[in-house]
Amino acid sequence: MENPYGKILRLAILSPVGILGVGFLFLGSAGIFLYGLLIAYRPNLIFQWQSWVYPLIFLSIASILISFSLLSIRRGAIKFINEVKNKEKDLQKYAINDDIDIINEESSEFGINSRDIEILKMIWDSGGFIPILKQQIFDSPFSMDEAIISLAKLAILEYIHISNEKMKLNITITPQGLDALELPKITFTSLVPWDISLMIIKANLLYREGNYDKVILSVYNTLERAFKAHLIPSIDNYREKWNENIKKKFGNDEKSIKLYEWAGIKTIASLNALWNFYKKEANIGRKWEGLIDREVKYLEEGRRLIDKMIDTIADTRSKYAHNKPGTKYVKDAYRLLKLTEIVIGVLFEDLKNRIMEN
């Protein structure tokens, strides 16, 4: 792997000022080389300062120009980090202060999506060095503003850590960020509505403030809202569109209709597998084990499954609501917070993508 400092030096050299510096470096080096050859034939030239002073001047100018280019890169890195920090503050302010009930769901900029995963990959590839990362962003299909939004979100959700110390300007990926890189399919998608994304960000901020009991209530409220306000209507919409496609494509061919229905049932089957995972990791009871473990055969049964999930979430939320706050919740809060991010991401990716495709 190429040394990152070598990459940064190459960026400095390839800048307009750096190219000019390289030009002077070439002239100065060539002058010194020719001067050395002439001295071999005419030793008395060593005492004629006019012959070697100009190459040294060229080398000095080259050194100044390349140093200036490196300094410009550093100033650009500082400015970039400050822009990310400012955007992070803006997102936190929106998550805490805005009324989620009046936010336009179609204009979401929150939630970890495919663009954010690509930014994470760029951080990994660049070693976290800001100048290299900026160059990768310039070469990518994303704008700098989009990249700054992604970096701010990743910082809020503690997927990355941004250092702005004087001698250390870089970005490091946290263990959570590494998990997102290894399992990109279970992170947020851009289809997650604005209100749900804001609730997730607010839960993360509560965790960072040490309000662990409120985090637990918040993530269950988030899941309940996601199911009731978005996912159950999505299933109804999905079923309606699916039935329309069946009629258009197969008419009265019952055998084909049955096969086509089984293709659609994969949506609910994935919900079934996801709920098994969530139930096991969150340890929120086995009340509906018989329903959950049984093979899901019809879309209507999938609707009932989600209803039962909401009931279980409400029961657990109620249990925590009657307990006194305290740091004893810290482990449960963190586990449920990250699990909720996973659950929300998979549910919306699976359901909404299938609805859009059909």
pLDDT tens digits, residue range 143-196?
888 888 888 888 877 788 887 665 567 888 888 777 667 654 444 444 567 677
Contacts made by residues 72-75, CB under 8 angstroms, sequence distance 24+: 72/15, 72/17, 73/8, 73/11, 73/12, 73/15, 73/131, 74/169
pLDDT, residue 80, reads 86
Q: Do 113 and 233 fall into the same domain?
A: no
pLDDT, residue 191, reads 58
257-306, pLDDT tens digit by residue? 555 554 444 444 445 545 554 555 455 444 444 443 443 344 445 455 55
Domain region containing 280 = 195-357
- Is residue 209 one of the residues assigned to a domain? yes
Mean pLDDT score across all residues of the chain: 66
The answer to whether 102 and 145 have CB atoms below 8 angstroms apart is: no
The answer to whether 156 and 197 have CB atoms below 8 angstroms apart is: no
Residue among 73, 103, 327 at smallest CA distance from 207: 327
What's the CATH code of the domain at 95? Answer: 1.10.10.10
- Is residue 84 one of the residues assigned to a domain? no
Measure the CA–CA gap between 3 and 153, rounded to whole angstroms: 29
Q: Do 61 and 114 fall into the same domain?
A: no
- Is residue 330 one of the residues assigned to a domain? yes
- Structurally, the chain folds into a number of domains equal to 3
Rounded to two decimals, what is the model's pTM?
0.49
Measure the CA–CA gap between 345 and 221, rounded to whole angstroms: 16
Measure the CA–CA gap between 64 and 58, rounded to whole angstroms: 10
Residue at a domain's end among 187, 211, 235: 187
- Is residue 225 one of the residues assigned to a domain? yes
Rg (CA), the chain: 29
**Residue 286: DSSP 8-state:** -
Q: Do 11 and 117 fall into the same domain?
A: no
Q: What is the pLDDT along the chain (358 residues), one digit of tens a residue?
A: 456 666 666 666 677 777 777 777 777 777 777 766 666 666 666 656 666 677 777 778 878 877 777 777 788 788 888 888 888 888 777 665 544 433 333 333 344 666 788 888 898 888 888 888 888 888 888 888 888 888 888 887 778 888 766 556 788 888 877 766 765 444 444 456 767 777 877 887 888 777 877 777 787 778 777 776 776 665 555 556 656 666 666 666 665 555 555 444 444 444 554 555 455 545 544 444 444 344 334 444 545 555 565 565 555 555 555 555 455 566 667 766 766 776 676 666 555 455 444 4
Q: Do 68 and 103 fall into the same domain?
A: no
